Structure 1
Amino acid sequence: MSPISTALTVAAFAAFAVIGAALAIIDIRSHRLPNRLVALAGASGLVLLAGAAVTGGGIDALLRSLLAALALFAAYLALRMLSAGGVGGGDIKLAAVIGLYLGWLGWGSVLVGTLAGFVLGGLFAAAMLLIRRAKRRTAIPFGPWMIAGAWVAITLTVSSP
């Protein structure tokens, strides 16, 4: 990867970190993922990763990112259709954004990040039930867990040799 491609990739993931943190905080407080912020995360990632691809990061990584974004969007849309309100529209859009970023790193990262989000969210929900701070029908924001799962995958990918 060229220095420019590396810088653009780092900038993309830095933008995701900042916007993702804001999205997590907002979702915890309001159970909403604002379209503008989700779109900003996606658009900034697309522009910066496309720039990284054409400056030496590889068009194959960009194509994989786009496919992963589409795959996670479709998977979360299917989950929404199968669940009775368990997955919100913001979660579906955020899934596409997370797919874009994790797809850049590889299919393994997409799988790990997606599964980690579900595991972390499930553990949190179970803990809330155990300490009686929630009931079976209590709404729990899933966006923060999706983002945390993505960062588990990013961290594991970047830290592995």
Structure 2
Amino acid sequence: MLMFLAAVYGAAAGLLIPRPVHRMAVEPDEEWRADCPGGHPITGPARGWLGRGRCPDCGAYGPGPLSTAAVTALVCAALAAATGPRPELVAWLVMAPVAVLLAAVDWRARRLPDVLTLPLAAAGAALLGSVGWLTGETAAWWRALLGGLLLGAWYLVLYLVNPRGIGLGDVKLAVGLGIALGWYGWRTLVTGGAAGVLLGALYGAGLLLVRREARNAAMPLGPFMIIGAFCGLLPAAAAAA
């Protein structure tokens, strides 16, 4: 039952993702898009951020709503299955749709907006802090905060070494992911963080083998960081059950 409810929640949240993806998938110095690809103005609740994933006039916005709904539903259901009815599941379910949105935006525009990465870290810290206070696991919360700082610091080092391959958005995303991973321990933090780097490196190597011109092309690291964190979080949540 818990998995079903989480999947329904994820599907509903995923249906709202295409429009923000289209609006946010712009260059850093550009304003959020106010029109659909066909030039029709984007309107609706919350100043056009909420609503159907397709333009009523031409049928275009961002990615297909069924794909984002399916991915988000699958992620939320997997998290519910691994975590069970423990209170930290609330934090994972709040963070999951934001992570899917970030991955989609980064894949399209090669950017991770601060309006998503910073609230993701803040929400993770606040929600896990509430869980720690309610359950008495304050040590896990402090470890989660330190995990966010450590993973963010590691990506900052990578950025300073190779600013063309890693952006500051990746550094800020690492803070939120590190908070989630650190909740379950240092091994989970290392596993999830290393998995993200490894997946990104494998994807980059594959691009170089297929297209030599990809050497100088920007690569979206955010989706691989998120997948890596997800792969680290699931077994740790299941083991803590």
User: Is TM (by shorter chain) over 0.5?
Assistant: yes
TM-score by length of 2: 0.61
1:6–1:52 contact (8 Å) kept in structure 2: no
Q: Does 1:110 align with 2:201?
A: no
2:132 match: 53
- The residue correspondences of 1:3-82 to structure 2 (distance < 5 A) are 6-7=86-87, 9-82=88-161
Identity across matched positions, percent: 37
Note the C-alpha offset of 1:70: 0.9
2:209 match: 130
1:65–1:101 contact (8 Å) kept in structure 2: yes
| RMSD over aligned Cα atoms | 1.7
Identify the match of residue 91 of structure 1 among 147, 161, 170: 170
Matched residues, number: 156
Q: Which runs of 5+ in 1 are unaligned?
A: none
- Report Cα offsets for 1:1-35 as digits up to 9, x if no partner: xxxx933x111111221110000000001111110
Indicate how the Cα distance of structure 1 residues 84 and 51 shifts in structure 2: closer, same or farther if over 3 A, else same: closer
The 4+ residue runs of structure 1 with deviation greater than 3 A are none
1:6–1:57 contact (8 Å) kept in structure 2: no
Q: Which runs of 5+ in 2 are unaligned?
A: 1-84
1:65–1:104 contact (8 Å) kept in structure 2: yes
Note the C-alpha offset of 1:51: 0.5
Letter in 2 for 1:6: R
- 1:154 and 1:94 map into 2 onto residues whose CA distance is 16
Note the C-alpha offset of 1:82: 1.2
Indicate how the Cα distance of structure 1 residues 37 and 132 shifts in structure 2: closer, same or farther if over 3 A, else same: same
2:165–2:219 contact (8 Å) kept in structure 1: no
**Structure number with bigger Rg:** 2
Between structures 1 and 2, the one with greater helix share? 1
Note the C-alpha offset of 1:133: 7.4
Higher relative contact order (CA 8 A, sep 6+): 1
Identify the match of residue 223 of structure 2 among 144, 150, 157: 144
Letter in 2 for 1:92: V
TM-score by length of 1: 0.90
- 1:71 and 1:84 map into 2 onto residues whose CA distance is 19
